[in-house]
Amino acid sequence: MRIAILGCGQLSRMLALAGIPLGIKFSFLNDTNDQITDCVNGLGRVVALPENWQEKQAISDLYDALGKPDCITVEKEQVDVKILQALQAHCDIFPNPQAVIASQHRHREKQLLEKLSIPTSPFVYFKSAQETIKTLPLPVVVKSCSDGYDGKNQWVLKTLEDVKHFDTLNIQDYIIEAWIKFEREVSVVSARAKNGDIKHYALTENVHKSGILIHSIAPAVELGDSLTLKAQAYMESVLTELDYVGVMAMECFVINDQLMINELAPRVHNSGHWTQMGSVTCQFENHVRALAGLPLGSTRMLGNAAMVNLIGTEHASLESLTDSSKYYWYNKAVKPGRKLGHINFLEQTRETLVQKLEDYQQATTK
């Protein structure tokens, strides 16, 4: 079997590394043409998107160049869905293009959550900030409907001067959300198979800085079974509505023992990287299993797990590793704010895990 992935970044890399032991071959579609492909070099065919891809013959030739894959998936939501729809004439697309469309645009995502009666923050779509604050009190958060990840293309408006300034920026296609005073940020990562079977990973607690995930710890503690079941029910509702195949992530705010959904990601997710070491079957293998029509693997935890992102830094010292941690480097060029790798930790007790995490962070900040 061959799977093609739209994108050549670290998520494509880790999907291939999880799928190759299953005997699956991979191809990678470089849809931007200027993207450096070091993350996936040596893991399968890398094919550039032709300029005339909208022509029927060009799409057929592209499918052939990719090795006639049995299915195509994505490593990111910000893709031109028309490419997926054109390739759909030749093979399956998982998740299906409609699921990507629903999740790649914040307003459509909000509409989906509202349709399913899943709580999300109050918002207005594409109105001036001055008009918006008549119904949403300051502070508010402005988010671009697309290309708004890792804190990019987001603005916090705290004062009337902020509001007036934003309205002069001529920003296009955005939503304005109420400022949410949440207690914690958690995520649920789940996989849905072709036959509708769903498996959930443990709820994960996430710590962000400037919109970028710094580290995750699983399982999130002191949430209670009811909150976990609620998160899983919300996820199952979305997955079923979209007839989704593969792994999806749902980011949530915890507020007074309730959940408010922040956003969806129709792909394997940074907050699920800990599963590479902390679960019987990692998120990457389960995504591949779902696409291949294989039974989903167990999501049972093997202990208490954590993940630390390596952001904008040179290769971390391997001397910082312990007998219960593993290092993952993406082969990307060093750039401020860029996720370049991560380290996973696994311990039998949460106390030991937190201590090892603190020891690592202290050692790397000296």
Angstrom distance (rounded) from CA 264 to CA 294? 24
Is 104 within the bounds of a domain? no
DSSP 348-359: SSHHHHHHHHHH
What share of the chain has pLDDT > 90, as a percent? Answer: 83
Is 98 within the bounds of a domain? no
Angstrom distance (rounded) from CA 253 to CA 257? 10
In the structure, what pLDDT confidence band is assigned to residue 23 with cuts at 50, 70 and 90? very high
Residue 349, token pair as written in the block: 């007790």
Is 336 within the bounds of a domain? yes
On the question of pLDDT at 35 being above 80, the answer is no
pLDDT at 68: 98
Secondary structure of residue 26 in the 3-state scheme: strand
pLDDT at 229: 96
pLDDT at 317: 67
Assign residue 128 the CATH number of its domain.
3.30.1490.20
For 73-113, write each residue's pLDDT tens digit: 999 999 999 999 999 999 999 999 999 999 999 999 999 99
Domain end marker among 42, 72, 93? 93
> Bridge-partner residues for 347, per DSSP?
304
139: cis peptide before it, omega within 30°? yes
pLDDT at 161: 95
On the question of pLDDT at 353 being above 80, the answer is yes
Domain end marker among 138, 158, 178? 178
Same domain flag for 318 and 240: yes
Residues 188 and 233: beta-carbon distance below 8 Å: no
pLDDT at 84: 97
pLDDT at 286: 98
Q: Nearest 10 degrees: CA dihedral of 265, 270, 274, 277?
A: 100
What share of the chain has pLDDT > 70, as a percent? Answer: 98
Angstrom distance (rounded) from CA 195 to CA 293? 8
Same domain flag for 192 and 88: no
On the question of pLDDT at 150 being above 80, the answer is no
pLDDT at 223: 86
Q: Taking the CA of residue 180 as centre, how many other CA atoms within 13 Å lie in the half-sphere pointing to its CB?
A: 22
Q: How many domains does the chain have?
A: 3
On the question of pLDDT at 43 being above 90, the answer is yes
Assign residue 234 the CATH number of its domain.
3.30.470.20
Same domain flag for 295 and 162: no
Q: Please tell me the total number of residues recorded for the chain in this structure.
A: 366
Assign residue 30 the CATH number of its domain.
3.40.50.20
Same domain flag for 297 and 195: yes
Is 102 within the bounds of a domain? no
Is 106 within the bounds of a domain? no
Q: What is the DSSP letter of 21?
A: G
pLDDT at 224: 82
Is 107 within the bounds of a domain? no
Domain end marker among 93, 111, 130? 93
Is 116 within the bounds of a domain? no
Same domain flag for 40 and 143: no
Lowest mean pLDDT among 16-25, 204-213, 275-284: 204-213
pLDDT at 363: 75
Question: How far is residue 36 from each of residues 26, 63, 65, 360, measured CA to CA in Å?
Answer: 17, 21, 19, 30
pLDDT at 283: 98
Same domain flag for 72 and 216: no
pLDDT at 335: 87
Same domain flag for 204 and 294: yes
Same domain flag for 203 and 237: yes
Same domain flag for 212 and 316: yes
Residue 182, token pair as written in the block: 């949440």
- Number of other residues whose CB lies within 10 A of the CB of residue 152: 12
Same domain flag for 289 and 339: yes
Same domain flag for 283 and 158: no
Amino acid, res. 335: K
What are residue 357's phi and psi, to 5 degrees?
-65, -45
Closest CA to 219 of 237, 197, 204: 204
On the question of pLDDT at 168 being above 70, the answer is yes
In the structure, what pLDDT confidence band is assigned to residue 141 with cuts at 50, 70 and 90? very high
Angstrom distance (rounded) from CA 199 to CA 179? 32
Same domain flag for 63 and 155: no
Q: Which domain holds residue 17?
A: 2-93
> Bridge-partner residues for 327, per DSSP?
343
40's CB contacts (< 8 A; 6+ apart) are 8, 12, 13, 16, 26, 28, 46
On the question of pLDDT at 259 being above 90, the answer is yes
pLDDT at 366: 59
Lowest mean pLDDT among 30-39, 214-223, 280-289, 323-332: 30-39
Q: Where are the beta strands (DSSP E) in the chain?
A: 2-6, 25-30, 45-48, 71-74, 92-93, 123-125, 140-144, 154-157, 174-178, 184-192, 198-200, 204-209, 212-218, 246-255, 258-265, 304-311, 325-329, 339-347
pLDDT at 365: 66
Q: What is the DSSP letter of 135?
A: T
Angstrom distance (rounded) from CA 73 to CA 53? 18
Is 109 within the bounds of a domain? no
